[in-house]
Structure 1
Amino acid sequence: MKYKSITILVLISLMMTHLGPLHAQHKGSSKSLNQYAFDLYGELKDENENVFLSPLSTYYALLLAYEGSKNKTKAAFEKVLYLKDSTRYIYDDLYKQESNSDSLFGLKISNAVWVDKKFEVESAFKNTVSSKYSSDFKQTEFANAELAVTDINRWVSDKTNQRITNMVTPSDINSETKLMISNAVYFKGEWLTKFEKLRTAESTFFTDNENQYKVDFMNITENLNYFENESFQFITKPYKDSDLSFCVLLPKTLYGLEAIENNLNAEFFNEILEQTVSTKVWLSIPKIKLETSYKLKPALTNMGLNSVFNNEAEFSGILKNEPLTIEQVAHKTYIDITEDYTEAAAATTTIVYIRGLPSYKTFKADHPFVFFIVDNKTNAMVFMGRYVKPQEGKVIDKANFVDNLLKRNNKKLDWGGNDKILILIAERKKFKPIDIQDVNFNNIEYLKVYKKEDVKKFTTEDYYGVVVLKLKKNKKIKKK
């Protein structure tokens, strides 16, 4: 019996500008999704390479295929997707927001089943995926590869606001292609508290011992949910009008990402989220722009879905009299994280920046890290990524590597990635160097910032700038 192939297309486009809430309620469903997410991430990650994917999007596409599977094929899906213990919650809650996605501010989730005009999909399958996932059913002529490509790519482009325009090519379709399943997620999320453009500064990103880059870092001091232990720091930064947050897991050592990744699983991740507390944090993260494209067949095969890609596959719930196999699962992603440019007054920027210094946690993501976008209510992972190599950074000459590392290790006060800042306190017309951590900023009467060209007024040493402050009457710095 000759088997026909299913190609599953998984598409995602992401820009951080606007977002609406998700309405999931059960953490049982998120545990299944998150464990699948970490399994897939483990298969895709490669040393010194970026990763960006949507576990939610790929999960959706595989669930559509699962609905038409039978017997051993169905069991394989249940194992890989961790469905047995939480299927009801997944259907009832985690994906219910899909049917309302058009009304969610900035979030659009779209599914489509593409069927060759010669075939009729089983009515039970059609009804199931329509009711649970609001999936469109589209007909095309796969024998005419150019026409099928045009139809599918137009749908993709419309659903992703023209961010992904060439998802498939004629080479992705052959004479045996009779059905495709696609899922597209388009997301724009505005920060609850925006980064200010005037605080963005170029600094060094340390990829590994052989690669350093100059990239733009966005900087802000704000109260964030924060957790740290001896191995890593973790923050969550919320979006406006949303139940989602952007999370970063940052190793404390420059090249400690692999050790952290080896421990990643759903239980570990939930424990971190539950231990975060609101803390004042100076956050410095690079502007991120990534485009990735994956063929997921090898990864999913290693995870246990090998039978769906060969003649053992049973998809009689989709096309009753036409044996089907999954030919490929394609996943294409785009992400752009910026300050969401806002107007800021230069006169107040420096002062606000300094006032956050005395009692804050420093979180500078200047080396490889993992990031997530998570539903706050359920801990469900909508997106996840690995940032290790800037795609738009300037490569630093290796002759400067050692000097950059020494500067990083010697800094007491990191300000936008530049060299040390000299802090002076004015006392009786004299200036005395102090440690910024010894100052209570509520006791300051005034402060003045001097730029690099004015440093020579105070010292012959090489400082990036000088901050002079004066305490209120009868106020003193802390005693050691």
Structure 2
Amino acid sequence: MCPLSVEIVLAMVFSGAGGKTAKQLSLAAHLPNDHEEVVEMFSELIPQLESSDKYTFESANKIYVQNTYKIQKQYNDIVVNKFKSEIESIDFVSHNAASNMNEWVEKKTHNKITNLINQDDLDEDSRLMILNAMYFKGEWIKGFKESNTEPKPFFLNSTHYIDTDMMSNKGSYKYYEDTELKAKFLEIPYKGNDVSMIIALPDKPEDINTLENNMDIVLKPKFQHLVNINIRIPKFEVKESIKFKKILQSLGAVLPFEDGANFNAMLSAESPEQLKIAEIVQKAVIEVDEKGTVAAASSAAQMQNWRAAKILPDTYFYADHPFIFFLKHKTLGVTFIGRYSAPKGIIQTGKYEAPVDPEFENLKVQIPTDI
């Protein structure tokens, strides 16, 4: 998922809410309960979602409102000028409503996300739909050689695996071992040094749930050194669709989705009745290969500023079982989060064993025994 783009959408909706509806949204989204403060906060953040000459980073949000409703000019100006977003009137029950929304998403994500909305998701009770799209494309500072990519086992658990293409590399990376979580952390930077991918790898395949239950710690790894390390990670693609209505309701934001919702700051007086949110939808796609990453849903310090540690040759990071990954921007924070659990392929039986660095094994063989 892409937490940043969801925060932007919720802030946009909050700006049009009032009373208890606004309060519930602010609590669920951890926003200040002050409209002007929220608008200014995000108007300063959004311009940072820009591409550089080293990578492509784009964000887009859109509100679709039933065409029998009229949006207040003041709210329209806030959404367009402060949130750099769009509002469009639409007939939700028309046969091409979903296709129109999907075309917008496809365009904003460079055709990486398709069929976000089904026509079945829309009906005569639909009044408001919020979509967000975020796209990132970056190349690794140190790319992986395609000639080093080869099939290797990826373990689903301790007894079953699927062969998949694993990329290999060796170099200096930020690396950290958390003994309490029983996990290893690796940071792989993209060109420009603004964005990096961080992988949280549990020591054992079954321990992935421990990481998921401690995401507040996982998202703040305590990197201290650059280490010389052999890494192996799979080429992978992750696609995920999320509907946030039930999630937000579980966090206490119930009114925004009910008939009693207060979006009076969003609607003009001539609108026929009160407005409520039908759904907030996000679909994320992450692609990782030898050159870098393409992420659609929608930080690293300069490497030379880190102290290099003296590391034994057996330091390795083999992501050959389920792991958590996230993209982190040096000023925006976490922009994408995902879990890679399994590649496509035939499940085979085999016993998982912690991998041993081949170079370290060769070194041990070469040590004279008569000393």
Judge same fold: TM > 0.5, yes or no. Answer: yes
In structure 2, what residue type is equivalent to 1:326? I
Shift of 1:245: 0.4
Q: 1:296: which partner in 2?
A: 244
Shift of 1:363: 0.6
Q: 2:104 aligns with which of 133, 152, 155?
A: 155
In structure 2, what residue type is equivalent to 1:203? K
> Which 4+ stretches in 1 moved above 6 angstroms?
477-480
1:383 matched to 2:312: no
**More displaced 10-residue stretch of structure 1: 366-375 or 117-126:** 117-126
1:435 matched to 2:367: no
Q: 2:130: which partner in 1?
A: 181
Cα distance, 1:284–1:90 mapped onto 2, change above 3 Å: farther
SS of 2:331's partner is coil
CA distance in 1, matches of 2:53, 2:10: 25
Shift of 1:128: 1.2
Q: Which sections of structure 1, spanning at least 5 residues, go unmatched?
A: 1-52, 342-356, 416-420, 424-433, 439-476
Q: 1:362: which partner in 2?
A: 316
1:413 matched to 2:357: yes
1:324 matched to 2:275: yes
In structure 2, what residue type is equivalent to 1:383? F
Cα distance, 1:175–1:208 mapped onto 2, change above 3 Å: same
Cα distance, 1:371–1:210 mapped onto 2, change above 3 Å: same
1:360-405 per-residue CA deviation (whole Å, 9 max, x = no partner) reads: 6211111111100001235x11000111222x23311x3xx24xx3
1:158-181 per-residue CA deviation (whole Å, 9 max, x = no partner) reads: 111112222222212111223322
Cα distance, 1:172–1:81 mapped onto 2, change above 3 Å: same
CA distance in 2, matches of 1:337, 1:316: 44
1:109 matched to 2:59: yes
1:65-97 per-residue CA deviation (whole Å, 9 max, x = no partner) reads: 111111111111111211129847742543232
1:394 matched to 2:338: no
In structure 1, what residue type is equivalent to 2:197? F
In structure 1, what residue type is equivalent to 2:254? N
Cα distance, 1:118–1:229 mapped onto 2, change above 3 Å: closer
SS of 1:255's partner is helix
CA distance in 2, matches of 1:247, 1:326: 34
CA distance in 1, matches of 2:366, 2:258: 63
CA distance in 1, matches of 2:366, 2:5: 46
In structure 1, what residue type is equivalent to 2:357? L
In structure 2, what residue type is equivalent to 1:278? L
Q: 1:33: which partner in 2?
A: none
In structure 2, what residue type is equivalent to 1:384? I
CA contact (8 A) 2:71 2:266 kept: yes
Q: 1:335 aligns with which of 275, 286, 291?
A: 286
In structure 1, what residue type is equivalent to 2:364? D
SS of 2:143's partner is coil
CA contact (8 A) 1:215 1:394 kept: no
Q: 1:372: which partner in 2?
A: 326
CA contact (8 A) 1:189 1:240 kept: yes
Shift of 1:240: 0.8
Q: 2:308: which partner in 1?
A: none
Q: 1:128 aligns with which of 68, 78, 89?
A: 78
1:138 matched to 2:88: yes
Cα distance, 1:92–1:162 mapped onto 2, change above 3 Å: closer
Q: 1:47: which partner in 2?
A: none
1:276-325 per-residue CA deviation (whole Å, 9 max, x = no partner) reads: 32111211111111222222222222122222222332111112443111
Cα distance, 1:73–1:413 mapped onto 2, change above 3 Å: same
1:443-466 per-residue CA deviation (whole Å, 9 max, x = no partner) reads: xxxxxxxxxxxxxxxxxxxxxxxx
Q: 1:313: which partner in 2?
A: 261
CA distance in 1, matches of 2:219, 2:283: 27
CA contact (8 A) 1:206 1:368 kept: yes
CA contact (8 A) 1:309 1:327 kept: yes
1:168 matched to 2:117: yes
SS of 2:96's partner is helix
Counterparts of residues 336-355 of structure 1 (less than 5 Å): 336-340=287-291
CA distance in 1, matches of 2:366, 2:7: 47
- Percent of aligned positions with the same letter in both sequences? 26
Q: Which sections of structure 2, spanning at least 5 residues, go unmatched?
A: 293-310
Structure whose residues are more often helix by fraction: 1
CA contact (8 A) 1:296 1:328 kept: yes
CA distance in 2, matches of 1:110, 1:296: 18
SS of 2:4's partner is helix
In structure 1, what residue type is equivalent to 2:187? T
1:272 matched to 2:221: yes
In structure 2, what residue type is equivalent to 1:182? L
Q: 2:152: which partner in 1?
A: 203
Q: 1:252: which partner in 2?
A: 203
CA distance in 2, matches of 1:414, 1:219: 13
Shift of 1:414: 4.2
Q: 1:71: which partner in 2?
A: 19
- TM-score, with length taken from structure 1: 0.66
SS of 1:185's partner is strand
Cα distance, 1:143–1:101 mapped onto 2, change above 3 Å: farther
Choose 1 or 2 for highest CA Rg: 1
Q: 1:95 aligns with which of 19, 42, 46?
A: 46
Cα distance, 1:103–1:197 mapped onto 2, change above 3 Å: closer
SS of 2:87's partner is strand
CA distance in 2, matches of 1:103, 1:340: 16
CA RMSD of aligned residues (A): 2.9
Shift of 1:241: 2.3
Cα distance, 1:271–1:372 mapped onto 2, change above 3 Å: closer
In structure 1, what residue type is equivalent to 2:144? F
Shift of 1:198: 1.1
CA distance in 2, matches of 1:277, 1:95: 32
Shift of 1:336: 1.2
